[in-house]
Amino acid sequence: MGTALVTGATSGLGLEFAWQLAQARHDLVLVARTPERLRKVAEEVRQFAGVQVETLQADLSERDELERVAERLRDKSKPVGLLVNNAGFGLGQRFVGGDLAREEDALNVMVRAVMVASHAAAGAMVERGRGAILNVSSMTAHTAMGTYAAHKAWVRSFTEGLASELAGTGVTATVLNPGLTRTEFHDRAGMDESQWPDAVWLDAADVAREALAA
């Protein structure tokens, strides 16, 4: 069914995307920062889904490591038919008085990496006349909730503009704006999930399924 490249593929929505794509018989390129977890997920997917899984360890906040992902997306000998730009993280801090290096890492992962990977993928896909890009934003893109919301607003606006530019090429760009979703995201950001009632939470499998359908 083709090959999909997923960033942030070893946890949360990224892991759910990987499993659902594998179950739909897509070969995978999994991109993540932690080598041990990356190898574990890749082996599990290979064994249980029976698809080919390639791994690419990369810290997307580092420009040279991001470029290796872009080079893979440009590789004409092993075309990628679907790019899922999912990597991201909650900062768990206020901007004023917070760690500026962490802010820069977040900007690089959630804005620059999305732009660079989308540019590489779109160029290769348009040349082939087919392909799809799925960028993960957030409901916070419509709010004023700090730099995370600002990054996600950029992803939403960028993807909408890219979709218009790609019209008629056979390539699509879709932006996903999920609300509160049960993943490791909030725990890693040091956020207390109990502040929101159970009724408002989305299931990660449902979110990924609807995003891929879209």
Q: Please tell me whether residue 1 adopts helix, strand or coil conformation.
A: coil
Query: Residue for token digits 């990369």?
Result: 58
Q: Of 66, 90, 107, whose CA–CA distance to 11 is shortest?
A: 90
Q: Please tell me whether residue 53 adopts helix, strand or coil conformation.
A: strand
Cα torsion through 197, 151, 60, 164, rounded to 10:
110
* Active-site annotation holds for 178: no
From the candidates 17, 19, 89, 148, give the one annotated as an active-site residue.
148
Number of H helices, E strands in the chain: 8, 6
Lookup: tokens for 112: 């620059």
- What's CA 185's distance to the chain center, in Å? 13
132: which strand partners? 82, 172
Lookup: tokens for 105: 């890492």
Which residues are catalytic, by number? 148
